[in-house]
Amino acid sequence: MVSRTFSPELRRRRRARENGVGYLFMAPWLVGFALLTAGPLIASLYLSFTKFDLLQPPEWDGLANYTKMFNDSRFWQSLSVTMIYVVVTVPVQLAFALAVAVLLNREIRGIAWYRSIFYLPSLLGGSVAIAVLWRQLFKGDGAINAILALVGIKGISWISTPSTALGTLIILHIWQFGSPMLIFLAGLKQIPVELYDAASVDGANWWARFRYVAIPLLTPIIFFNVVLQIIAAFQAFTPSYIVSGGTGGPSDSTLFYTLYLYQQAFINLNMGYASAMAWLLLILMSVFTAVIFRTSGSWVHYSDAS
């Protein structure tokens, strides 16, 4: 056997050549990231400090857009509506998704069809067509009131009443539980049956097995779903825009933060102010995500279930 030794210079050239090939394959993504993500991101940060109406060149305005938010009542209303939406929908949706995943975590005839049916709303829920359908269901002469009339209950225009308009959008979001449900279901499939059997031998009932066996092993997946759903809830736009007709609903009761940002950018042409709002939204999502990561050490348990 002949041993081959390479000088440091030759190894350095080989490593550089291999790295060059890797960067060549990455080039399309890097170019796309620079042009479609990093570039617009930096541009929006600059615009957030300017007065820009899309028609005239941007004029430097310092912190005026950020200070303006503190005196903008509709900004605070949109932030309040969005916070309520996030705080209510995320835990309720995930609890519902986990409950359904537990029910579907069994081998019965036709279980694949049941899983497909429960996942279907997530495929359709974010579309414009479903938002239009939702508006038709909850309007004054919609299907919901028609059903209530059958039992002698006189309904209201759910989407035109300030106290109920946001609730209809919350229900729509919760209805789209298919994606977190599938993730929970995958996690439940990874839990060894032997752990449940051992708990049963110790006298644990189904609730004890779920609470002390399933939940601790599912905490990494719960953590993952919480982060994803919080980000998605903050970015919700289509339901509010379609159901409210782009106005924010009665008394701005469904004025999501993203909808108000859209109004400022493309209706009022306050692109600088909208850019500042976008960056504040990014900061809010980052803070929420950071808090979850910071506290995860006390409730997320990573262990090898196998």
pLDDT by residue (tens digit) across 10-30? Answer: 778 878 887 888 888 888 988
Q: Is residue 60 part of a domain?
A: no
User: Is there a domain that residue 42 lies in?
Assistant: no
Which pLDDT belongs to residue 50?
Answer: 96
**Calpha distance 70→25 (Å, rounded):** 47
- CA 99 to CA 180: how far, in whole Å? 11
Range of the domain at 182: 65-298
From the list 291, 286, 288, 280, the residue with the least C-alpha distance to 79 is 280
Residue-wise pLDDT for 68-107, tens only, equals 999 999 999 999 999 999 999 999 999 999 999 999 988 7
**CA–CA gap between residue 286 and residue 288 (Å, rounded):** 6
Least confident of 45-54, 195-204, 257-266: 195-204
Could you please report the per-residue DSSP string of 76-97?
A: HHHHHHHHHHHHHHHHHHHHHH
Q: With 60 as the cut, is the pLDDT of residue 306 above it?
A: no
Query: Between the CA of residue 268 and those of 53, 120, 259, 274, what are the distances in Å?
Result: 8, 37, 12, 10
Asked if residue 53 is part of any domain, the answer here is: no
pLDDT at 302: 82
What share of the chain has pLDDT > 90, as a percent? Answer: 57
CA–CA separation, 287 vs 239, rounded Å?
25
Q: What beta strand segments (E) does 38-119 contain?
A: 50-51, 59-60
Closest CA to 95 of 177, 176, 179: 177
d(CA 300, CA 243): 37
Backbone angles phi, psi at 51, to 5 degrees: -105, 115
Find where tokens 């291999």 sit: 18
For the cut 80, the answer to whether the pLDDT of residue 225 exceeds it is: yes
Give residue 202's pLDDT band: very low, low, confident or very high (50, 70, 90): confident
Q: Report if residue 303 sits inside a domain.
A: no
CB 45 within 8 A of CB 279: yes
pLDDT tens profile 44-61 = 999 999 999 988 999 999
pTM over 0.85: yes
Decide: residue 52, CB within 10 A, 0-12 exposed, 13-18 middle, 19+ buried. Answer: buried
Q: Which residue has the tokens 């709002």?
A: 277
* Domain count across the chain: 1
Which 3 state secondary structure label does DSSP give 248?
coil
Give which of 82, 102, 89 is closest to 174, Cα–Cα: 89
Residue 293 lies inside a defined structural domain of this protein: yes
Contact in structure between 54 and 269 (CB atoms under 8 Å): yes
Percent of the chain with pLDDT over 70: 96
Residue 54 per-residue DSSP state: S
Q: What is the mean pLDDT of residues 227-237?
A: 94
Structural domain contains residue 1: no
Give domain status of residue 54, yes or no.
no
Q: What is the CATH number of the domain that holds 76?
A: 1.10.3720.10
Q: Retrieve residue 268's tokens.
A: 């009022």
Q: Span 5-9, mean pLDDT?
A: 69
**Residues linked to residue 59 through DSSP beta bridges, in sequence order:** 51
Confidence of residue 110 (pLDDT cuts 50, 70, 90): confident
Q: Is 46 within a domain?
A: no
